[in-house]
Amino acid sequence: MMLHLAPLQGLTNRVFREAYFRHFGGFDAALAPFILALRGSEVKARHFKDLLPGPAEEGLDGSSRRMPLVPQVLGNEPVAFAETARVLADLGYTEINWNLGCPHQMVAGKQQGSGLLPFPGRVAEVLDSSCAIPGLGISVKLRLGRSDPEDIMRLMPILNDHPLVKVIIHPRLGTQMYRGETDLDGFARAAELCRHIVVYNGDIIDRASFEALRARFPGIDEWMIGRGAISNPFLAEEIKTGAVAGDREARLRAWLNDIYRSYREVLYGPAHVLDKMKEIWGYLGVIYPAEKKRIESLARVRTLLDYEVAVAGILGTRR
């Protein structure tokens, strides 16, 4: 069984991923938040900054390794997509993922992300050229549809016609954004039609929700977790091993200190550091329900010192 960390734009960037994988186990690979497909002449080196290979890390078991990372590209134009894919192949990546799920109107309105799901012809054009790049495998991450769950059924013959590495399905519509029920019947139908490896993604928030999905979809062997793995960073470990080693509080504190230190090194000015840390804390309220009030008040701190005092208050009370 494989567990993948889902891409969360703005959150699971390189600093986050490196700190996360230094402190927590359970995941086998990560998908990076999307970068835009750009034509060669428009591309600057910093476009790929988040994806430059970092140093190998020491894992929890003392082994030295780099978490396998798959870059993700958002676009709908075959030439720009293929040129961006080639740069990523030159950086050493052997798989890239195509984003066919982004729900935001600004993106979807331009027939990108989930906005491309009703247009199988455009999807075929991009796949025809990108699947022809030597040494590079293509996977896709998609929803059931833009506003119609039949979109994916009409798209499946095209996906089946191309040699994709895998197909990651988040069973919502683009118009649902990240809310409302997931459509598990829709997922089952799509997975049955798909001849590629299918990865399930959506609303795995604890071991019970994972086990329920596993029981319902015994043919699925790869799972992708996003928000649930930030709300509870021990989740992948719990799923894989059934238990969490060590003192949770101490491990959480060490991770938060680590990521805070890294952001202070790489970001310019306290406001940016605070924004990043507040975003993470916005998720952590789930495992600290008793600290709801204090975590909410964290959103209002304006200085690093106030942040540190507030965090010491939250984590200190749990000792």
Ligand X SMILES: Cc1cc2nc3c(=O)[nH]c(=O)nc-3n(C[C@H](O)[C@H](O)[C@H](O)COP(=O)(O)O)c2cc1C
Q: Whose Cβ is closer to ligand X: residue 99's or residue 232's?
A: 99
Which of 87, 173, 225, 314 touches ligand X by CB under 6 A?
A: 225
Buried b (16+ CB within 10 A) or exposed e, 252-284: bbebbebbbebbeeeeeeeeebbebbeebbbbb
Which of 170, 251, 253, 276 touches ligand X by CB under 6 A?
A: 170
Which of 18, 151, 183, 203 touches ligand X by CB under 6 A?
A: 203
Considering the complex, what minimum distance in angstroms separates the CB of residue 100 from ligand X?
A: 8
Closest CA to 184 of 205, 167, 197, 170: 170
* Binding of residue 171 to ligand X (CB under 6 A): no
Q: Whose Cβ is closer to ligand X: residue 65's or residue 207's?
A: 207
Considering the complex, what minimum distance in angstroms separates the CB of residue 315 from ligand X?
A: 24
Residue at 233: amino acid letter? P
Which of 136, 202, 277, 298 touches ligand X by CB under 6 A?
A: 202
Residues in the chain: 319
Which of 127, 159, 204, 277 touches ligand X by CB under 6 A?
A: 204
- Asked if residue 227 lies in contact with residue 8, where contact means CB atoms within 8 angstroms, the answer is yes
- Asked if residue 176 lies in contact with residue 132, where contact means CB atoms within 8 angstroms, the answer is no
Considering the complex, what minimum distance in angstroms separates the CB of residue 155 from ligand X?
A: 16
Q: Whose Cβ is closer to ligand X: residue 13's or residue 253's?
A: 13
Considering the complex, what minimum distance in angstroms separates the CB of residue 144 from ligand X?
A: 12
Which of 13, 84, 99, 262 touches ligand X by CB under 6 A?
A: 99
x-or-dash string of contact with ligand X, 6-35, rule CB under 6 A: xxxx-x---------------------xx-
Q: Whose Cβ is closer to ligand X: residue 10's or residue 246's?
A: 10
The residue with its CB nearest to ligand X is 226
Stretch that binds ligand X, among 40-48, 224-232, 237-245, 254-262 (CB under 6 A): 224-232
Considering the complex, what minimum distance in angstroms separates the CB of residue 68 from ligand X?
A: 17
- Asked if residue 103 lies in contact with residue 175, where contact means CB atoms within 8 angstroms, the answer is yes
Distance CA 33, CA 139 (A): 14
Q: Whose Cβ is closer to ligand X: residue 176's or residue 262's?
A: 176
Which of 13, 176, 201, 232 touches ligand X by CB under 6 A?
A: 201
Buried b (16+ CB within 10 A) or exposed e, 176-198: beeeeebbbebbebbbeebebeb
Where do the H-state alpha helices sit in the chain?
Answer: 14-23, 78-90, 105-108, 120-130, 151-161, 184-193, 207-216, 227-231, 235-241, 248-266, 270-284, 292-298, 304-316
Q: Whose Cβ is closer to ligand X: residue 118's or residue 202's?
A: 202
Distance CA 64, CA 205 (A): 29
* Binding of residue 226 to ligand X (CB under 6 A): yes
| The two structure tokens encoding residue 68 | 């396998």
The footprint of ligand X on residues 111-150 (CB under 6 A) is 141
The phi and psi torsions of 274 (rounded to 5 degrees) equal -60, -40
What is the contact surface with ligand X in residues (CB under 6 A)?
6-9, 11, 33-34, 72, 99, 101, 141, 170, 178, 201-204, 225-228
